[in-house]
Each structure stands twice: as structure tokens, then as C-alpha cells.
Amino acid sequence: MTSEPLLAVDPLVCGRSVTSSDRGRLPDVRGGDLADVGAAPRLMALAALRELRTHADGVPVAQEVFDRAAELFEEAVLEGESPEAYADRVSYATGLTAAAVAQSVRDLVDELRELSETTAAELPGTGFGAGFATRWVPRGRVFAAVMASNHPTPNVTWAQALFHGYSVAVKPGSRDPFTPLRLTRALLTAGLPAHKLAFLPASHETGEFLLKEADRGIVYGGDSAVRRWQGDESVAVRGPGRTKALLDAEADEPTVAHLALSASFDGGTRCTNLSAVLTTRPVHEVADALARRLAALPSVPVTTAGATLLVADRERAARIRRQVDELRAAPGVTDHSAGHDPAGKDTVVELADGSQLLRPLVLSVDRVDHPAVGTELPFPFVVVAPWTPADGVAPLRGSLALNLLTEDEELVDAAVREPSVRKVTRGAVLPWTAVPGIPHDDNYTQFLLEPKGVVAAAS
């Protein structure tokens, strides 16, 4: 357990730190508490929104501000916080490994520097001859972001709203206030007008209030968040990814290694981490090979070199253990990890520093429509199920990313046309592979902006 003084985290409204009397403790995965967080009550959130809206002008922020903010976020001491201190705090709050946090920093700063390029790639041409043009402008003035804590990189979504001219209110995830706070400080130091941004740790209810009051917003969460906001055109919903792979090829060593990395990268915390493999090959053989590969991942503290697996505090680990026990006990389920993993059937392993490490788990099921297919857990967890061409595309639905290891071109075409499949990769391509302009989940730039015609008299 850490002996460092408890860090105080408070709302930051339009450049001003505002002390809140509504406080809660952020647990350290090693035991004890990591931070004392002041939550913005509804009245403070309302006041922040009013201040943001009063000064909101819809004017885009120059790319140079984001370039400088990216540099500061990655390298600078901000309000006394070094990059190393930031990384440790994220690891000890979320359970992400040092390697995962370092990768997320690289990804986040790259995406900040690519905002202009991403915008150009996601918008059609705007010139239609002399005097005729289209202007893409914000669909509103105020944007609300309700973030999760599974990964730091998605914080680029609210930075993108700033880039396009919105004034932004950010509710951080309960376990990671550190990333949006550091990014807020980097942006303000880089020259972002202070009146454009508010950092508001808050309750779930206050987060919902922010989304209702803003003109546009984004929410990260589980199935309940999807049900609550899906269909609301003003809110972009980022829920469980349920990323799948269709294995219609030999489960040779390179293929199994690819599937294992797809499941375990960043500790299995990404929404694009693989959680189901549907296969025409013998299910138990595929599941055994995958379990054997994942069992080799080490059980070490998150800040150790070579650490891959997520850790959790004791309470969160107990909840996950109960979920796993229920899944193992369900009819038609076989556990393939217990026979290969050094921890046996114990998915949760207590480490010497007091953190609870989550070991990989591979299950197989006896039918493609088994309820376990599509289950998401926040660590390397994969369900292997049988699939035949007669099953068609139906079992592949509801996938944020779908990795197709097949030569069946008709199936590939059907998968691309399936509305609930958001992205398709082919061959040994990791599910999150992209370049600016490749949609993650629809065209986010066009969610933020709308086209307006501008017609001028011919000169």
C-alpha cells in the first residue's frame, strides 16, 4: 500500500479550481486510497454549463494548440505532476499496466496531432465551383463527455469537440480522473481559452444531467448506458465492443498467437479486445490452444517490466470472481484455462503488493447462440463457439470489430453490409488497427458537425 500523501482532485471550471465539499475516496489497487476526489454537485454542474454557454462561440481552436498540448501531456510537469507520476496514478487507480498506460499516452498524443488530418479524411469535398461551397460547423455550442475508466485514449473524443469549436464539460470516469485532468491542464497551458472547458468529477446522475443539458455529447458505459441513450441523436454511445473473430482456417501457431494478442493487449481492457471466437474448426482444440497461449502471461505487479495483465482492488476483483463462477457453472460451458494456467481455476490471484491480478480465461460453449457468447469482462476473456456456413452472419452481429479469418468472399460482403457490425478486419490484423479517416464507430466528425451551404454572388 502506498505511503504517499493523499492527492486531492477537484473540479476545474473555466480555468479555476473549485473545491467541492462532496468528497469521496478513490481506491488504490494495492489497498487503501489513492486520491480524495471532490465531486461537482448538480448546482455546480449547472453553473459550469451556464458559464460555458455564455462564452460559447463555436469558433474552432487551432491545430497548433493541440500539437502543443500533446507535447505537454506527454513530457511536461503540469501543476506539479510529472509524466511518471501521472502514469503511476493511472496504473494504481485503474489496474492498467505501465506498458498499457505508456501505449495509451502515445496513442492519445498521436490522435491529438492528427485532428486536422482526421477531419479532412472524414468530410467530403466542400468546393462546387465559383461561388458555391459547403461549410462544416458545430451542431451546437456545448458538448458533454461522460467518460469511462477502462482506457485513457478515448479522452481524445472530447478534445476533438473542442477542436471543432464546442465548449466542453467533461465528467471523468470514476477510476481515472487523472487523464482528463492532465489533458485539461495541458490544453489550458497550450493556449486553449479557459472559458471553453470544465473538468467535473461527478455522480452518475450529474453525468446524465450534463448530457441532457448539452447540445451534443458522448457517453461511455455498459449495456444500461446503451439502452438509456441509444436512439438519442444528440448523444454518441460507446458501449461494450463485443469484438469477435470468425476462424474458418487452420488454428496454427501464428493464428493462435494473433488471436491471443487480440484478446490480451492492454490487459484486455479495450472495447476492441477479442471476446469471442466462432469457428468451423474443432472447438475444444481451438480453445485449448488459445488457453495454453494465454496461460504463459506472467502474474506480476502492473508497474513491472513485461506486465500484461490487469489488476484490481479487492472489492472489484470479488465482483469479477462471482461473474466468472456463474459463467463456469452454466450448462454447455467448458473451462479450458484451468488445465493450462498456473493459477488453476482461480481467476483472481493476489500479488505481493496487495493488488488482485486477473488471469486470462478461455471458455468453450456447445452452440453458437449460447448466452456466454457476447459476454464482456475487463480482462483477457474469450468464449469459443462452433459456427457453420449455414449459421450465416447472424451470430456475428453486434460487433464493434469483426476479424474475419476466411476466404469466403460472400460472407465478408454480408458482414460488411450488416448494420450492427461497425468495422471489419481481414486476416491477421488487430481489431484496433486504423489510420485517420477509418471509422471507429460511425463517422464521429459528422456527428459533431453539420454542413451549411454558402453561396456568393459571382464577381
Q: Does residue 266 contact residue 297 with C-beta atoms inside 8 Å?
A: no
Say whether pLDDT at 50 is over 90. Answer: yes
Percent of the chain with pLDDT over 70: 99
Taking the model in full, what pTM does it have? Answer: 0.94
Question: What pLDDT was estimated at residue 440?
Answer: 83
Say whether pLDDT at 2 is over 70. Answer: no
How far apart CA 230 and CA 331 sit, in angstroms, is 32
Looking at residue 400, its amino acid is L
Q: Can you give the length of the chain in residues?
A: 459
Say whether pLDDT at 230 is over 90. Answer: no
Strands 333-335 and 424-426: unpaired
Question: What pLDDT was estimated at residue 3?
Answer: 52
- Nearest CA to 217 among 208, 226, 228? 208
What tens digit of pLDDT does each residue of 180-219 get? 999 999 999 999 999 999 999 999 999 999 999 999 999 9
Mean pLDDT within 404-430: 95
How far apart CA 22 and CA 448 sit, in angstroms, is 33
Q: What residue ranges do the domains of the chain occupy? A: 7-123+136-239, 243-426
What tens digit of pLDDT does each residue of 368-384 get? 999 999 999 999 999 99
The mean predicted confidence, pLDDT, of the chain is: 94
Q: Residue 458: which pLDDT band, with cuts at 50, 70 and 90?
A: low
Q: How many CB atoms lie within 10 A of CB 425?
A: 20
Architecture of domain 243-426: 3-Layer(aba) Sandwich (3.40)
Q: Please tell me the CATH superfamily of domain 7-123+136-239, with its number.
A: Aldehyde Dehydrogenase; Chain A, domain 1 (3.40.605.10)
Say whether pLDDT at 39 is over 80. Answer: yes
Residue 5 CA neighbour count, 13 Å, CB half:
3
DSSP string, 108-174: HHHHHHTHHHHHHHHS---B-STTEEEEEEES-SEEEEE--SS-SGGGHHHHHHHHTT-EEEEE--S
Say whether pLDDT at 41 is over 60. Answer: yes
Question: What pLDDT was estimated at residue 459?
Answer: 62
CA Rg, the chain, in Å?
23
What tens digit of pLDDT does each residue of 72-83 get? 999 999 999 999
Q: What is the per-residue burial (b if ≥16 Cβ within 10 Å, else e) of 163-189?
A: bbbbbbbbbbbbbbbbbbbbbbbbbbb
Q: Do domains 7-123+136-239 and 243-426 have the same CATH topology?
A: no
- Nearest CA to 343 among 395, 389, 299, 405? 299
The residues, ordered by sequence, that sit 6+ positions from 86 with a Cβ below 8 Å of its Cβ are 178, 179, 182
DSSP tag of 66: H
Q: Find where cell 471458455 sits.
A: 363
The residues, ordered by sequence, that sit 6+ positions from 113 with a Cβ below 8 Å of its Cβ are 66, 67, 70
